[in-house]
Amino acid sequence: MRRNSPVFRRCRLMARRAIFALWAGIVLPVLVAGGGFLARAAENGGLGPLSIRNQFPVTLGFLTYTPEKVLTLPLETFQFRYQYSVTNSFINTQSPRNTSGPFIDSAAVSRSGGLAASDFAATGYGVYLDVEARRHQFRFNYALTESLELGLELSWIGLGGGSLDSRIVSVEDFFGGLNQDRAYADQNQFDFYLIRDGVFLRQSSQSFSSEPMDPVLNLKWTLTEGGEVLPAMAIKLSYKYPLESNPDGPRALISSGGRDYGYYFLFSKEIGGVIAHIQFGITRLEVESNTFSDSLRHKMFGWEFRLDQKNSLIVQSISQTSIFSDANIQTNLDYGLATQTDVGIIGFKSHGDGFLFEIGLIEDYNQQRNEADITFYFELGWEW
């Protein structure tokens, strides 16, 4: 649908009216009402969902959504968190299983000079991705008011061949979800090739251990802590500032060079001793034409099972639109590069006496192979 078409304009107007109706009919009464209907009910917030961003290597250079607890920190409280994650991903749109076009096997990847444009189809996207990413993230949050929280994210990341390939194959084989294309590749190798219409967007086989990612600034406003009927609600705004506008070398793989921003709506509600978390929003990306989609839409739903006031088991699912634009998609094998991505996350979260701990496992489950295969992470935090 063209953006200047009458149908698009009508749809946009209807969306704006729906947002206004939501604000006027639900949010505004929440802000002005009082009494037991909106009495403080911190259990609606719980410990919050598991806080890990999308780790698909192609999206690392862009801003993307990170689940967040609805309730802000207590007034003038400072929080510091450190998160370590390791992600393993493999994609080969030109698998030898493909008999209708050029194919890529381990011999093609290892030849002098690496892969060339002729190894991929002439039109649409082509991907050969064999990457293990290890990321160190530092988060700094401060409560400006009782309902407003400011946050800063600084990260360093390394991309390489790693050492998890054999373990990933074993796990996927056990669950019957083995990525068959891994059989045509040598294990623990690093290759990052992404092409569109014969032009490489990413091209590297040189690993690196640590490079700074673009910083991200967050602002969260808790509208209400909810009550017996209404859920806790918040709005989160995020902004990614590029360290340079034209990154090259290793940084070209982890920085888009653009200014991205996002806005997200967060809800949580206790239901029979279990807390439901629902979040959704949009991330706007600054991209060059004929490269990637200029926006991502996100949805998250999770259940938090409280073990006690300090510990929770959490299961959640995150879906988002693909970073790959829907124009000229290469329909090769069973790859749905432009389709929605889906990941399931399971983990444990603990928060008490000024100390935080979080650990989780992420696995893609839609079989479209346009997401990271598996991610392990843990997080430590302190607040005072």
pLDDT at 35 over 50: no
pLDDT at 82 over 80: yes
CA 83 – CA 134 distance, rounded (Å): 11
pLDDT at 124 over 70: yes
Residue 174 Cα distances to 34, 167, 177, 187, 243, angstroms: 54, 11, 8, 18, 42
Q: Taking Cα atoms as reference points, which of 204, 221, 184 lies closest to residue 60? A: 204
Least confident of 80-89, 152-161, 265-274, 369-378: 369-378
Neighbour tally for 326: CB within 10 Å: 11
Least confident of 247-251, 269-273, 333-337: 333-337
What is the reported pLDDT for 51?
A: 95
Highest mean pLDDT among 11-20, 90-99, 150-159: 150-159
Q: What is the mean pLDDT of residues 241-251?
A: 93
What are 24's two structure tokens?
A: 């006027």
What are 271's two structure tokens?
A: 């239901």
Helix (H, G, I), strand (E, B) or coil at 262: strand
pTM of the model: 0.84
Convert the pLDDT of each residue in 83-119 to its tens digit. Answer: 999 999 898 888 887 656 788 888 888 888 889 999 9
Cα 183 from chain centre:
27
Convert the pLDDT of each residue in 180-213 to its tens digit. Answer: 677 677 888 999 999 998 999 999 999 999 999 9
pLDDT band of 216, cuts 50, 70, 90: very high
What are 3's two structure tokens?
A: 């953006």
DSSP state of 136: E
Task: Name the percent of the chain lying above pLDDT 90.
Answer: 61
CA 213 – CA 107 distance, rounded (Å): 33
Q: Are 292 and 325 in contact (CB under 8 A)?
A: yes
Domains of the chain: 33-383 (2.40.160.40)
* CA angle, residues 127, 374, 68, in degrees to nearest 5: 110
Tell me the pLDDT of the chain averaged across its residues: 85
pLDDT at 27 over 50: no
pLDDT at 273 over 60: yes
